[in-house]
Amino acid sequence: MSVILIAGETGQQGVTQQTLELVTAARSLAGDGGEVIAVFTGAQDAVAPALPADSVYLLKHEALGEKDSGTFDAATDVLSALASELDPDIILFARTDRGSVVAPRLAMRLRSAFARDCVAAAWDAGDVIVTRPVHGGNANARFRLAGKGPCVVMFRPGAHDAGAHDAGAHDPASSTTSSPELRNFDPAPHIRESRSKLLRTGQEQKEGVRLEDAEVVVSGGRGLGGPEPFTQLAELADLLGGAVGASRAACDAGWIDHSHQVGLTGKSVSPRLYLSFGISGASQHMAGCSSSRNIVAVNTDADASIFGDARFGVVGDWEKVLPAFISAVRDIS
Ligand SMILES: Cc1cc2nc3c(=O)[nH]c(=O)nc-3n(C[C@H](O)[C@H](O)[C@H](O)COP(=O)(O)OP(=O)(O)OC[C@H]3O[C@@H](n4cnc5c(N)ncnc54)[C@H](O)[C@@H]3O)c2cc1C
């Protein structure tokens, strides 16, 4: 029987989409009769009833902060103590800011195998096999995780469906849903003195849909020629209930904040529709959006590599296509 531990996270709306995606992955890895346990460090009480896991730990301590905002050191201390007690087969993280720091540290503490940025994981003859995009997303590689102890796997956001659950937890005994069992674990004895101190946390001022969660992303690149066109992209994103993305070139030019960057060193998105204007389709950009269900590209260069990934393409100037597109969307909405 497999035991899968999830390092959950909460945001303003409670359990994050990425955590629900981890539950989907965990259910599949746990198999029949397996156990899915979620642990939240510094989380709100309200998360527990809605989470489709078998059991949940809500660990509280001032060093862990509120809503998972505590120090990464404290989270690593507590998760390694809990993992030693539970002895799970696999520990799952989402590739978030927090996961990217805590997951490798935890693997180091546990002396276990670690795989980052995975899009799939499965059992094979008692070993965990993970799939990771490599070469900027141009190929997938499979890795067998060797070694003792639980392996730590970090999933790329969007790699799994977050909506495959009913509200409430899976009950393996009855195959129905129910609230997860709330378990206790005292973090205090395990938190070491930290060399880093959390001075303050800030919430990104953001209206509308989060880029990572958006069903529609309207993205712009260097071909837009300046910051002004991003106002039009935002208008289109609003009309479609989506969010604005950008290439690194556009962000580096200062036309839009780096929090909008999509790609290898930016955010990973998997919307139903990814609309790109003036983006060439460099592999580092596509690494963050190639799992979108439909990519639409607008580019003046018929040989731009983004057309190789796009389902629909327009060889043309964004200055003509974008206003016409916005007007057409207005007409039908
Ligand atoms: C380690 C590393 C990590 C990186 N990480 C990322 C990342 O996370 N995200 C990312 O995006 N990039 C990343 N990059 C950079 C990446 O390699 C590209 O340089 C970048 O994506 C190019 O951005 P772009 O497509 O906007 O610009 P360009 O490559 O300059 O393309 C602009 C496109 O606009 C088209 N165009 C021009 N005028 C018009 C017009 N009027 N109408 C329509 N189309 C027009 C052009 O034909 C061209 O195809 C990374 C690079 C490295 C080395």
Q: What is the DSSP string of 236-265?
A: HHHHHT-EEEE-HHHHHTTSS-GGGBBSTT
Whether residues 157 and 218 share a domain: the answer is no
Q: Which domain holds residue 166?
A: 3-190
Task: Give the per-residue pLDDT at 47.
Answer: 56
Under the banding of pLDDT at 50, 70 and 90, the label for residue 203 is: low
Over residues 288-305, the mean pLDDT reads 94
Sheet strands (E) in the chain: 3-7, 10-11, 14-15, 35-41, 55-59, 90-94, 114-118, 120-124, 127-134, 139-145, 151-155, 169-171, 176-178, 181-183, 216-220, 243-246, 273-277, 294-299, 312-315
Whether residues 184 and 37 share a domain: the answer is yes
Q: How far apart are CA 277 and CA 53, in angstroms?
A: 41
- Is 178 domain-assigned? yes
Whether residues 9 and 120 share a domain: the answer is yes
- Is 48 domain-assigned? yes
Whether residues 260 and 311 share a domain: the answer is yes
- Is 165 domain-assigned? yes
**To test the ligand 1 pocket, which listed residue (224, 259, 261, 264) has its Cβ within 8 A of the most ligand atoms?**
264
Whether residues 39 and 117 share a domain: the answer is yes
- Is 310 domain-assigned? yes
- Is 132 domain-assigned? yes
Last residue of some domain: 140, 160, 190? 190
Under the banding of pLDDT at 50, 70 and 90, the label for residue 293 is: confident
Task: Judge whether residue 175 has pLDDT over 50.
Answer: no
Q: How far apart are CA 100 and CA 77, in angstroms?
A: 16
Whether residues 70 and 167 share a domain: the answer is yes
* Residue 24 vs residues 47, 120, 258: alpha-carbon distances, Å: 17, 11, 30
The amino acid at residue 326 is I
Ligand 1 contact via 304 beta carbon (within 6 Å)? yes
Task: Give the per-residue pLDDT at 134.
Answer: 81
**To test the ligand 1 pocket, which listed residue (248, 259, 314) has its Cβ within 8 A of the most ligand atoms?**
248
Task: Give the per-residue pLDDT at 71.
Answer: 74
Structurally, the chain folds into a number of domains equal to: 2
Q: How far is the CA of 266 from the centre of ligand 1 (A)?
A: 13
Q: How far apart are CA 329 and CA 333, in angstroms?
A: 6
Q: How far is the CA of 222 from the centre of ligand 1 (A)?
A: 6
Cα radius of gyration rounded to whole Å, the chain:
21
**Angle at Cα 114 formed by Cα 197 and Cα 282, nearest 5°?**
90
User: Both tokens of residue 156?
Assistant: 């790329």
Q: What CATH code is carried by the domain that includes residue 255?
A: 3.40.50.1220
Q: What is the largest CA-CA distance in the chain?
A: 63
Task: Judge whether residue 167 has pLDDT over 70.
Answer: no
Task: Give the per-residue pLDDT at 189.
Answer: 95
Last residue of some domain: 135, 157, 190? 190
Whether residues 175 and 227 share a domain: the answer is no
Residue nearest atom 11 of ligand 1, based on CA coordinates:
247
Whether residues 129 and 7 share a domain: the answer is yes
Q: What is the pTM of this model?
A: 0.72
Q: Which atom of ligand 1 is nearest to the CA of 220?
A: 26
Last residue of some domain: 190, 219, 250? 190
Whether residues 55 and 163 share a domain: the answer is yes
Task: Judge whether residue 170 has pLDDT over 50.
Answer: no
pLDDT tens by residue, 54-92: 999 988 888 887 655 557 889 999 999 999 999 999 999
pLDDT tens by residue, 207-231: 778 898 899 999 999 999 999 999 9
Task: Give the per-residue pLDDT at 147.
Answer: 76
Whether residues 160 and 288 share a domain: the answer is no
